[in-house]
Amino acid sequence: MSYVLNDPADFADEAAAGFVAAHRGLVRRVPGGVARATATPSGQVAVVIGGGSGHYPAFAGLVGPGLAHAAVMGNVFASPSAQQVYSAAKAVATDAGVLLSYGNYAGDVLNFDQAEARLNAEGIPCRTVRVTDDIYSALPDEREKRRGIAGDLAVFRAAAWAAEQGFDLDAVHAVAARANERTRSFGVAFTGCTLPGAKEPLFTVPVGQMGVGMGIHGEPGIDVRPLPTAKELGALFVDALLDERPADISAAQGARVGVILNGLGAVKSEELFVVYATVAQLLEDGGVIAVEPEVGEYATSFEMAGVSLTLFWLDEELERAWSAPAYTPAYRKGTRDLTGIAAGDEVTDELDADIPVASAGSVAAAETVCAVIDAIRDVIDREAEELGRLDAVAGDGDHGIGMQRGARAAAEAARKAGSAGAGAGTVLSLAGDAWAHRAGGTSGALWGAGLRAAGEQIGDQDRPDAVIIARAMDAARAIVQGNGKAQVGDKTLVDALVPFVDSLGDAVSSGLPLADAWAAAAGEAEKAADATASLVPRMGRARPHVEKSIGTPDPGAVSFALAMTAASAVLAR
């Protein structure tokens, strides 16, 4: 749905007014739409694009050098009128004529064709290339009936490049038509969208399902299937598009393609990047070279959740077009001179570690340390979702994932250090570094610092006994409290950590063996974690909803108690 609007009937006009106000100096109003702020150079074919509003940056955002000379702006999801097309074209036309290009939809065809006829009748040469990239909107033997979606960008770029080379109208038409023949897109939808001011969505997709091949106005696709993973979606896209490569490309191997991974509105940048990671890999596996990929929003439908992948099968000329500089409100590339600046180094993301020489006793104990951290990782893996749920009550909901990343990285680092012959102290310290490094956030920093402090206390020479271990846990407590600035009663990890350390110290002093002392301390930690349900948390970035959290235990205290109990089971073996 739309959240901010005035009278829905004014939406498209007000959006156009705000768009022009935001991009003064780049675009100007002309009858029917917007044009480049600069006049079309004499003798240059003007490329005029357009369609309904609601698909930003298509179409107004794509006006400027390297792209269109003008965009005709229809009402929301409605083709512009013939009068609008005619007027906008006339505002930018030179004697060299006008190329119209737009997605192939009935209303657009009706109105653009009328305008084309009128322009030609008035002596302004005009030709049209309709974009037909959506492979699931008609069968391959009826390609001319297909709809146009995000592949628009490839065709518009080709037309603009040809126009800016000074080609005549027929030559511009030929380049744009060839670009269209070599552009294929495949889209999926997860939800529909709601027009501004409407009470009901225009169309919907069943929850948890995906419309395969669904169009950007909800046109039906070929199938409805359960939501895929990002990897499955990337594979679905790439397989289908490699299969439907243009007839003149005998094998995909070695082919160069422009790539557009387009979000329809509600699928956000990070998700698109997750999908692109798979797409890039699969194209590479298929021997296809991705040229200057575009990942983002190029043709949207308000808040529709959907993604499309476009492959633009390049030849030498089309690659020049695809790579050419452009400068529009929403599409800018290749205009920065970076020559003469040295390239930086690619650096890998490994923590270096020197492994100090350790005693045999400490190396033996390191094996137990590894087993303890493995057990912590396992319990956190199991409880990650619940921890996230607890954290979402008052915090930012990332505690489960953060702990999971930290514990996994710590277990891996511990095993690696152990294999390299590290002693118990170094294993713990490096596990802590890995935890902090991979988990990030406040709890990651505190767990990392705590494990490192414990590791440094234990060292690599002695076989650690119960007294050393109790002292190590107290060192961990000291650094966690020092860095995190929390006291008992603040509803944090500290509420479970302090009773654990106190209980462990008392039990060890009274002569209990480590396994029993630890088990008792873990029991105290569990009780203390449960008791945090009655506390009011400290305010902070991670605690936006302080008032809501009464009755819910603190996820940091809970995860600490879970970890200590899991460790207890290992020590009891």
Three-state DSSP class for 417?
A: helix
- Establish if 348 lies at the interface with a second copy (CB under 8 A): yes
Q: Which of 15, 47, 508, 567 binds a second copy (CB under 8 A)?
A: 15
Q: Which of 118, 217, 256, 320 binds a second copy (CB under 8 A)?
A: 217
Strand partners, 289: 256
Burial of 392 (0-12, 13-18, 19+ CB in 10 A): middle
Q: Binding to a second copy (CB under 8 A): which residues in 280-339?
A: 280, 293-295, 297, 300, 302-303, 305, 307, 325, 327, 332-333, 335-336, 338
Q: Which residues contact 401 (CB under 8 A, 6 or more apart)?
A: 384, 388
- Establish if 484 lies at the interface with a second copy (CB under 8 A): yes
Minimum CB separation of residue 544 from a second copy in Å reads 4
Q: Which of 47, 48, 63, 77 binds a second copy (CB under 8 A)?
A: 77
Q: Which is nearer to a second copy, 277 or 572 (CB)?
A: 277
Minimum CB separation of residue 98 from a second copy in Å reads 15
How many CA atoms, within 13 angstroms, populate the side-chain half-sphere of residue 291?
19
Three-state DSSP class for 185?
A: strand
DSSP letters, 245-299, are: --TT-S-STT-EEEEEEEE-SSS-HHHHHHHHHHHHHHHHHTTPEEEEEEEE-SS
Q: Which is nearer to a second copy, 173 or 477 (CB)?
A: 477
Q: Which is nearer to a second copy, 320 or 333 (CB)?
A: 333
- Establish if 152 lies at the interface with a second copy (CB under 8 A): no
Q: Binding to a second copy (CB under 8 A): which residues in 492-531?
A: none
Q: Is the omega angle on the peptide bond into residue 19 within 30 degrees of 0, that is, cis? A: no
Which is nearest to 407 in space by CA: 378, 375, 450, 377? 377
Phi, psi of 215 (to 5 degrees): -85, 170
Minimum CB separation of residue 124 from a second copy in Å reads 16
Q: Which is nearer to a second copy, 32 or 464 (CB)?
A: 32
Residue in this structure with the two tokens 């109208």, named with its chain if needed: 169
Q: Binding to a second copy (CB under 8 A): which residues in 100-129?
A: 105-108, 110-111, 114
Residue in this structure with the two tokens 């303890």, named with its chain if needed: 372
Whether the Cβ atoms of residue 88 and residue 71 lie closer than 8 Å to each other: yes
Considering only the stretches 160-168, 170-178, 371-379, 386-394, report the one whose residues sit in contact with a second copy under the rule CB under 8 A: 386-394
- Establish if 75 lies at the interface with a second copy (CB under 8 A): yes
Whether the Cβ atoms of residue 397 and residue 391 lie closer than 8 Å to each other: yes
Q: What does the alpha-carbon distance between residue 31 and residue 51 come to, in Å, rounded to a whole number?
A: 15
Minimum CB separation of residue 230 from a second copy in Å reads 4
Three-state DSSP class for 139?
A: coil
Q: Which is nearer to a second copy, 43 or 325 (CB)?
A: 325
Q: Which of 78, 174, 249, 531 binds a second copy (CB under 8 A)?
A: 78
- Establish if 470 lies at the interface with a second copy (CB under 8 A): no
Tell me the two tokens of residue 13: 């006009």
CA dihedral (265, 269, 275, 279) positive or negative: positive
Q: What does the alpha-carbon distance between residue 48 and residue 552 come to, in Å, rounded to a whole number?
A: 59
Chain-centroid distance of CA 8 in Å reads 31
- Establish if 266 lies at the interface with a second copy (CB under 8 A): yes
Minimum CB separation of residue 338 from a second copy in Å reads 6
Minimum CB separation of residue 524 from a second copy in Å reads 27
Residues in contact with a second copy, total (CB under 8 A)?
Answer: 153
Contact flags string 439-468 toward a second copy, x per CB under 8 A: xxxx-xx--x--------------------
- Establish if 537 lies at the interface with a second copy (CB under 8 A): no
Contact flags string 42-71 toward a second copy, x per CB under 8 A: ----------xxx-xx---x---x------
Q: Which is nearer to a second copy, 76 or 507 (CB)?
A: 76
Burial of 286 (0-12, 13-18, 19+ CB in 10 A): middle
- Establish if 202 lies at the interface with a second copy (CB under 8 A): yes
- Establish if 143 lies at the interface with a second copy (CB under 8 A): no
Q: Which of 269, 419, 487, 509 binds a second copy (CB under 8 A)?
A: 269
Three-state DSSP class for 320?
A: helix
- Establish if 421 lies at the interface with a second copy (CB under 8 A): no
Q: Which residues are catalytic?
A: 217
Minimum CB separation of residue 3 from a second copy in Å reads 4
Three-state DSSP class for 409?
A: helix
